[in-house]
Chain A
Amino acid sequence: MTISPTDLQPPSLQSRSGGIQVLGYWNLRGITQLPTEARAALRTAAENSFDQPWDLSGIATLDSAGAYLLWSAWGHRLPANLQLKPEHQSAFRRWQQRPLPQVPTGERARPPLIVSAVEGIEQLGDHLLDLLRLLGQMILDLGHLARYPRDTPWKEISATIHETGGRALGITALVGFLIGVVVSYLSSLQLQTLGAQIYIINILGLSIIRELGPLLAAILVAGRSGSAMTARIGVMRVTQELDAIAAMGISPSLRLILPKILALIVALPLLVVWTDVIALIGGAVSANMELGIGYHQFFSKLPSAVPVSNLLIGLLKGVVFGLFIALVACHFGLRIQPNTESLGDETTNSVVVAITLVILIDAVFAILFRGVGIE
């Protein structure tokens, strides 16, 4: 016999002269149809008429949930006068026989604030130490490559350059162009009030080549490739692919981490140049429309308005940003634990830390090179 779910009869009690009759489907699905008041009513009925005869032979099905409801209503004992179908006895026996200990629900106590603060500092130290270790490993790997150039992972490097650089051309161009247009438009409004329209070339050239280009490219790459690197290394760690590579006698750091770092060191400065060019074009378009400065004038005056050292600073920034984005991405990838939450957390951390670090390094550059390239 199969019960279709529609004709499920909710569990019920009926008081008769000869005692209490229990009817219906006393299983999880039946119980869930029982409102809370009905359960409270069951409890009082069970307490009040515990000594009366109980007739449970009208029950259609009984599972351990249904049995528990009756059993707990009776106060964890069976009534003396109980009629029961033989096949339903085991459900009660399960609750009778096993003294079930309280199970811990797994809620872990939160440590006091001072402890978590100390732990936080310790963790920060851990991160810095691990990053340093990764950097050291990279230098060792480079030393190894200097001695055995045949081991250089050219294929991986070029694939990563394509992945992080080539495929980012579209998005960096779009963002660069729009930022160029916006900066140019805002500056031209201000310059018009001063009557100093021609300085738009200086402002755009300096801000884009020195600051905005490298920063935009780095932030886009950190969000785009940094997260991908973290997730990729993390999943490879979880699925033991890193162990498999190591077991074949191939260094995972040489084959997986070094190529990513080297590739980003190469790809990011190139992306910076690309973003600079597109952003300057965007700026020139806007300047042409707002202030009537011709394209020829804009680009021929650019070299004299912006010292070449600014371009070099921008490129150097690209190299350093690339190094740190890849380092941070690999570092967090190696920390991923085999569960879904950790994968999400570490990928988020990777992107947040990479972008924050990029901005911090940018500030350091601003201090270090404060006398260079600006008259």
Chain B
Amino acid sequence: MSETPVIRVERVWTRFGDKLVHRDISLQLLRGEILGIVGASGCGKTVLMREMIGLQTPSEGEVALLGQVLAQADARTQQQLRNRCGVLFQGGALFSALTVYDNIAFPLRELRTLDEAMIERLVAMKLAMVGLEPASAALLPSELSGGMVKRAALARSLIMEPEVLFLDEPTSGLDPVLSEEFVNLLRELHQELGFTIVMVTHDLDTLGDLCTQVAVLADQQLVSMGTLEDAIRCEHPYAREFFHGHRARRVLAVS
């Protein structure tokens, strides 16, 4: 019996008014894979990811998450599906009025069945996992540095022990050292917790270091879906420029 894919995108078209964003996109992702979505700015990478999470509905076609077609799921099923996903938004999207601790504990408290002592231990565990000092739990998001915001947001997206983790530009806005640390952190967590990752990224380093699958979006279509080698071999002009540009050659040669 073949395995049910964690994410199945089938013949998806997306239009905003007259503007066509996605033309007939299909892809599948198996458990434990790390998918990197690349493409030019404004080509609909984030939109595709939002459609996978169910924050947006495609104009045509269907998206299935963990074997459930999102458009057909009722409110309760959708709620349960979202509990099994973690999302790291580009700017962190931490609730600015809550402390880091309350931010991370927020999804747990929403369950309304756990006691505070257990919540405190689980938050402490996640803080340690993402490498944040316990003292930073008392800070407000506005008092954190960029790297700490990303880590706190990652801790919040991991708190429900998700099976699928969605990352929107996980390393943007981090300096190279921090960004490498963050990639290592993601790799370790992936090995330890065994979730599936979907990420939107521009960063070739992240792509080369982390992703087992690469999807290249260009001209509203999916021009390549497969390993990084497949993407590098892709003949589409955008993919050639992306993977064979001066900078890309330098980065990929090193890795």
Binds B, one of A24-32, A146-154, A216-224, A241-249: A24-32
Chain B at the A interface: mostly helix, strand, loop or mixed? helix
B121 CB contacts on chain A under 8 angstroms: 68, 72, 100
Beyond A68-B121, A106-B101, whether A2 also contacts B140 by CB under 8 A is no
Most buried by B among A100, A103, A338: A103
Question: CB < 8 Å: which of B77, B101, B122 contacts A68?
Answer: B122
- Asked whether any CB of chain A lies closer than 8 Å to the CB of B253, the reply is no
Question: CB < 8 Å: which of B77, B108, B128 contacts A5?
Answer: B77
The answer to whether A340 touches B97 (Cβ under 8 A) is yes
Interface residues of B in 133-178 (CB under 8 A from A): 134-135, 137-142, 160-161
A32→B81 CA distance, assembly (Å)? 15
Question: CB < 8 Å: which of B4, B97, B160 contacts A2?
Answer: B4
The answer to whether A104 touches B137 (Cβ under 8 A) is yes
- Asked whether any CB of chain B lies closer than 8 Å to the CB of A300, the reply is no
Binds A, one of B10-18, B34-42, B111-119, B242-250: B111-119
Q: Nearest Cβ in chain B — how far from A40, in angstroms?
A: 11
The answer to whether B122 touches A64 (Cβ under 8 A) is yes
- Asked whether any CB of chain A lies closer than 8 Å to the CB of B123, the reply is yes
- Asked whether any CB of chain A lies closer than 8 Å to the CB of B120, the reply is yes
Beyond A2-B66, A32-B114, A68-B118, whether A100 also contacts B128 by CB under 8 A is yes
B96 CB contacts on chain A under 8 angstroms: 338-341
- Asked whether any CB of chain B lies closer than 8 Å to the CB of A94, the reply is yes
- Asked whether any CB of chain A lies closer than 8 Å to the CB of B80, the reply is yes
The answer to whether A103 touches B127 (Cβ under 8 A) is yes
The answer to whether B122 touches A65 (Cβ under 8 A) is yes
Interface residues of B in 71-101 (CB under 8 A from A): 77, 80-81, 83-84, 95-97, 99-101
A304 CB contacts on chain B under 8 angstroms: none
Interface residues of A in 299-344 (CB under 8 A from B): 337-341
Question: CB < 8 Å: which of A2, A69, A106, A339 contacts B100?
Answer: A106
Q: Mark B47-88, 1 if CB is under 8 A from A, else 0.
A: 000000000000000000011100000000100110110000
Question: CB < 8 Å: which of B68, B83, B161 contacts A65?
Answer: B161
- Asked whether any CB of chain A lies closer than 8 Å to the CB of B204, the reply is no
B139 CB contacts on chain A under 8 angstroms: 106
A338 CB contacts on chain B under 8 angstroms: 96, 142
The answer to whether A106 touches B99 (Cβ under 8 A) is yes
A52→B18 CA distance, assembly (Å)? 69
Count chain A residues whose beta carbon lies closer than 8 angstroms to a beta carbon of B: 34
Q: Nearest Cβ in chain A — how far from B37, in angstroms?
A: 22
A104 CB contacts on chain B under 8 angstroms: 101, 134-135, 137-138
Beyond A32-B114, A100-B125, A338-B96, whether A106 also contacts B161 by CB under 8 A is no
A193 CB contacts on chain B under 8 angstroms: none
Residue on B nearest A63 in the bound complex, by CB: B161
Q: Nearest Cβ in chain A — how far from B18, in angstroms?
A: 30
The answer to whether B134 touches A102 (Cβ under 8 A) is yes
Residue on B nearest A69 in the bound complex, by CB: B118
Question: CB < 8 Å: which of B3, B81, B102, B128 contacts A106?
Answer: B102
B111 CB contacts on chain A under 8 angstroms: 28, 32
B95 CB contacts on chain A under 8 angstroms: 340
Q: Mark A1-22, 1 if CB is under 8 A from B, else 0.
A: 1101100000000000000000
Beyond A105-B120, A339-B96, whether A94 also contacts B142 by CB under 8 A is no
The answer to whether B67 touches A341 (Cβ under 8 A) is no
- Asked whether any CB of chain A lies closer than 8 Å to the CB of B6, the reply is yes
The answer to whether A29 touches B137 (Cβ under 8 A) is no
B100 CB contacts on chain A under 8 angstroms: 106
A64→B126 CA distance, assembly (Å)? 10
The answer to whether A103 touches B120 (Cβ under 8 A) is yes
Q: Nearest Cβ in chain A — how far from B188, in angstroms?
A: 11
B210 CB contacts on chain A under 8 angstroms: none
Interface residues of A in 74-124 (CB under 8 A from B): 90, 94-95, 98, 100-106, 108
B67 CB contacts on chain A under 8 angstroms: 2, 4
Question: CB < 8 Å: which of A2, A101, A339 contacts B141?
Answer: A339
A68→B123 CA distance, assembly (Å)? 12
B80 CB contacts on chain A under 8 angstroms: 5, 29
The answer to whether A28 touches B68 (Cβ under 8 A) is no
A-B CB contact pairs (8 Å), 28 listed:
A2-B4, A4-B66, A4-B68, A5-B77, A5-B80, A5-B84, A27-B161, A28-B111, A29-B83, A31-B113, A31-B114, A63-B161, A68-B118, A69-B118, A72-B121, A98-B125, A100-B128, A100-B134, A103-B120, A103-B123, A103-B137, A106-B99, A108-B138, A337-B142, A338-B96, A339-B96, A339-B140, A339-B141
**Shortest beta-carbon contacts, A-B, top 3:** A106-B99, A339-B96, A106-B138
Residues of A within 8 A of B (CB): 1-2, 4-5, 27-29, 31-32, 34, 36, 63-65, 68-69, 72, 90, 94-95, 98, 100-106, 108, 337-341
